């Protein structure tokens, strides 16, 4: 059990049998009565955000969660297949559970995954990944406008806006949080 006095941003709690992540919290004391804690919570299964107020000292459950290092093996249709690095057990995960992180995963990559009741609910990626450009238009000679970009398709299928000098086959660094081009490798 976790006391509301111990709340921190990013902490995981279980309310009504569902896992939530604390996005924001604020202690306040109304004119009369005890202190309260206003929270903004994101349900980890659906992404729904809700506001909830707790009394100070109230207890909430800690969810049954584990962070496990798993290797992304391959994509089967729209599903992703991961393998536990310790037990070599494979897990087929729907693309909805992987979310936008699936666009940055290459076959053979290792990622930290969040399991809730032995079901994958999230993938934690590094801050940036190296991807190869598979398709982009060639830069036009004489087009030297500063900060001009063009769309490029990566080996995983996602599109990233890159500078005009990037060509097919180039290895580039991409920010996984914003999807922006960071540089050439």
Residue 87 to residue 153: CA distance in whole angstroms: 35
- β-pair type (36-43, 18-28): antiparallel
Model confidence pLDDT, tens digit, residues 67-77? 888 999 998 88
* pLDDT < 50 positions in the chain: none
What pLDDT, on the 0 to 100 scale, is given for residue 51?
Answer: 93
Instruction: State residue 140's pLDDT score.
Output: 66
Quickly tell me which residue has 């279980």 as its tokens. 14
Query: How confident is the model at residue 34, as a pLDDT?
Result: 85
Task: Judge contact between 60 and 52, C-beta under 8 A.
Answer: no
Encode 125-136: b = buried (16+ Cβ within 10 Å), e = exposed. beebbebebeeb
Quote the pLDDT of residue 73: 92
Domains of the chain with bracketed CATH: 2-60 (2.30.30.30), 65-124 (2.40.50.140), 128-184 (2.40.50.140)
Tokens of 91: 């897990």
pLDDT of residue 96: 78
Q: Determine the pLDDT at residue 94.
A: 83
């Amino acid at each position: 059990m976790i006391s509301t006095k111990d709340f921190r941003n990013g902490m995981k709690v279980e309310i009504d049998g569902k896992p939530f992540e604390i996005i924001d919290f604020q202690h306040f004391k109304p004119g009369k009565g005890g202190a309260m804690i206003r929270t903004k919570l994101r349900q980890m299964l659906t992404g729904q955000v809700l506001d909830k107020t707790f009394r100070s000292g109230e207890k909430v459950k800690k969810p049954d969660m584990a962070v496990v290092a798993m290797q992304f093996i391959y994509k089967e249709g729209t599903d992703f297949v991961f393998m536990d690095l310790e037990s070599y057990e494979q897990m087929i995960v729907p693309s909805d559970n992987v979310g936008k992180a699936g666009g940055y995963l290459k076959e053979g990559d290792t990622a930290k995954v969040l399991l809730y009741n032995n079901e994958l609910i999230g993938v934690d990626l590094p801050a940036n990944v190296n991807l190869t450009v598979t398709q982009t238009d060639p830069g036009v000679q004489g087009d030297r406008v500063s900060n001009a970009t063009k769309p490029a398709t990566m080996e995983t299928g996602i599109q990233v806006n890159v500078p005009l000098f990037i060509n097919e086959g180039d290895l580039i660094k991409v920010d996984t949080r914003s999807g922006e081009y960071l540089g050439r490798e």
